[in-house]
Amino acid sequence: MNFFPKNVKFLSTQRFLDGGKSSGNFENFNLALHVNDKQESVINNRLILESYYDLPSEPVWINQTHSSICVNASKIETIVDADASFTCDSGIVCGVLTADCLPVFVSKKDGSMVGVAHAGWRGLIYGIIENLIKSFESDGNDLVVHLGPAISMNSFEVGVEVKNQFLSKNDNFERSFSFRNNKHYLDLYDAAKVILEGFNIFSISGGDRCTYNEENHFFSYRRDGDDSGRMANLIWMK
């Protein structure tokens, strides 16, 4: 279910789009310049992105480093290191790139502010979701969240040291892990919900896709390694 107000628009691209220019392992709609795709192909794909989805402006891209840094997209003039952005201004497109990590879309219920975070397991531990939520300066009951496509628990094996880092942050993360065949698996979707529920946020949609298993729909770094492209996850206000 989508709880977002009518003036808020958001999207997650998929790996294929008619007219996409990337080829080979990046076929055909890779939107990341930092991978081994041809720069010209990515630039053309970004132009197609703006046109196909009728974006009000070029997305405000950020240099993602699995950090806890959240920035105001309305004040960015050059690409900065960050893993989340927000805006209170109509027509500003906040964006993150993903290929297994979790995109977390957030909006005020009155449609006056939006933001998005790139949340891998490191970002979840470091506090990227918390910092995005705090930027809204709102009660959790006034916020709505959508969890975009990410790798599912069944495909996301992690080391015990990763689990221990989560549990040292919050015991409630125990529910976000499973253990089978002597291996630990992490549910990024549920881990995000643990954090969001701590802010009294329960209006949450999404969380039912798997970038690893849905090869015909999504890029996946866990599946394809350095030959993986990236999807764009964008949110803005009309």
Is the distance from CB of 211 to CB of 180 less than 8 angstroms?
Answer: no
Q: What is the structure's pLDDT at 210?
A: 98
Give the number of residues written for the chain.
Answer: 238
Residue 157 resides in a domain: no
Is the distance from CB of 204 to CB of 105 less than 8 angstroms?
Answer: no
Q: Exposed, middle or buried, 44 (CB in 10 Å: 0-12/13-18/19+)? A: middle
A 10 A CB-CB count for 27 gives 15
Confidence of residue 188 (pLDDT cuts 50, 70, 90): very high
pTM, two decimal places:
0.97
127 backbone dihedrals φ, ψ, rounded to 5°: 105, 25
Number of domains in the chain: 1
Residue 163 resides in a domain: no
**Structure tokens, 212:** 């690893």
Expressed as residue numbers, the domain containing 77 is: 8-150+202-237
Q: Which residues, including other chains, have CB under 8 Å from residue 111's CB and lie 6 or more apart?
A: 4, 5, 6, 7, 8, 237
Residue 162's alpha-carbon distances to 117, 176, 195, 198, in angstroms, are: 20, 12, 17, 21
Is the distance from CB of 68 to CB of 118 less than 8 angstroms?
Answer: no
Residue 22 resides in a domain: yes
CATH of the domain at 137: 3.60.140.10
**Tens-place pLDDT, residues 84-124:** 999 999 999 999 999 999 999 999 999 999 999 999 999 99
Can you tell me the distance from the alpha carbon of 230 to that of 218, in angstroms, rounded to the nearest whole number? 8
8 backbone dihedrals φ, ψ, rounded to 5°: -100, 130
Is the distance from CB of 149 to CB of 211 less than 8 angstroms?
Answer: yes
**Tens-place pLDDT, residues 10-51:** 999 999 999 999 999 999 999 999 999 999 999 999 999 999
Q: What is the structure's pLDDT at 106?
A: 98
132 backbone dihedrals φ, ψ, rounded to 5°: -65, -45
Residue 3 resides in a domain: no
Confidence of residue 3 (pLDDT cuts 50, 70, 90): confident
Q: Please give the distance of CA 91 from its chain centroid, rounded to a whole number.
A: 20
Confidence of residue 197 (pLDDT cuts 50, 70, 90): very high
Residue 159 resides in a domain: no
**Tens-place pLDDT, residues 118-160:** 999 999 999 999 999 999 999 999 999 999 999 999 999 999 9
Residues 214-223 have a mean pLDDT of 97
Backbone φ/ψ region at 137: left (φ over 0), alpha (ψ -120 to 50), beta: left
Residue 183 resides in a domain: no
* Average of per-residue pLDDT values in the chain: 97
